[in-house]
């Protein structure tokens, strides 16, 4: 196998969810496709990090030069309901399911010391600031993944809200236990809608 092709396969193989066989298939597709596609793909990939930034309120990905994402900017969204998710992909999954009219807060992961992710690495402080600065009582929907890391993250938020004496300003709820896969991103639309509708209050 040519060295250039081997290196391309290795690069593709580093992408999440892509095994060696799939990486090889993608590399061979790129090799056989026309130059217009390759150039378009290269242009979209080049400088992607300079073309985007993160929303100052919820940490969602938005266009460079925009301080706030489209969801935070929309007047029709209920700003008193904040759905807390681990990743941007979780937010996209909930949005795609439909039926949710609140806003979001993206933590950027879940507490996982074994993987080197600690409290200070995640967007907790900005969440507590949002609660503290809210004019009215806000509902915080804890939509972290139903696994060990997700549960630890939700527990930390609950404990901190109590510790910071913010409980009077919040109504805490948790998605119902319908997410059997353990990851929100893999749940179907009906499961997501039901998990939101049947969310339980955390006391």
pLDDT tens for the chain, 203 residues long, are 889 999 999 999 999 889 999 999 999 999 999 999 999 999 888 889 899 999 999 999 999 999 999 999 999 999 999 999 999 999 999 999 998 999 999 999 999 999 999 999 999 999 999 999 998 999 999 999 988 999 999 999 999 999 999 888 899 999 887 665 567 888 888 889 988 998 988 87
- Say how many residues make up the chain: 203
Rounded to an integer, what distance in angstroms lies between the CA atom of residue 143 and that of residue 145? Answer: 6
Q: What is the CATH number of domain 74-201?
A: 3.40.1360.10
All CATH 1.10.8.420 domain ranges in the chain, comma separated? 3-46
Taking the mean position of all CA atoms in its chain, how far away is CA 161? 21
What's the rounded Cα separation, in Å, for the pair 111 and 15?
22
- 3-46: in CATH 3.90.1200.10: no
């Amino acid at each position: 196998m040519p060295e250039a092709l081997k290196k391309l396969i290795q690069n593709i193989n580093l992408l999440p969810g892509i095994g060696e066989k799939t990486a090889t298939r993608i590399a061979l597709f790129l090799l056989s496709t026309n130059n217009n596609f390759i150039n378009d793909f290269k242009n979209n990939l080049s400088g992607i990090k300079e073309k985007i930034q993160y929303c100052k309120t919820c940490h969602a990905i938005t266009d460079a030069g925009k301080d706030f994402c489209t969801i935070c900017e929309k007047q029709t969204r209920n700003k008193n309901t904040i759905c807390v998710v681990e990743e941007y992909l979780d937010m996209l999954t909930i949005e795609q399911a439909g039926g949710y009219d609140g806003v979001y807060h993206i933590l950027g992961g879940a507490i996982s010391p074994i993987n080197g992710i600690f409290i200070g690495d995640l967007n907790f402080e900005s969440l507590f600031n949002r609660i503290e600065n809210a004019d009215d009582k806000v509902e915080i929907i804890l939509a972290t993944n139903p696994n060990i890391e997700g549960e630890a993250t939700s527990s930390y938020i609950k404990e901190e809200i109590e510790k910071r004496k913010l409980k009077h300003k919040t109504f805490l709820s948790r998605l119902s236990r319908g997410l059997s896969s353990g990851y929100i991103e893999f749940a179907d639309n009906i499961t997501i809608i039901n998990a939101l509708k049947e969310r339980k209050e955390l006391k």
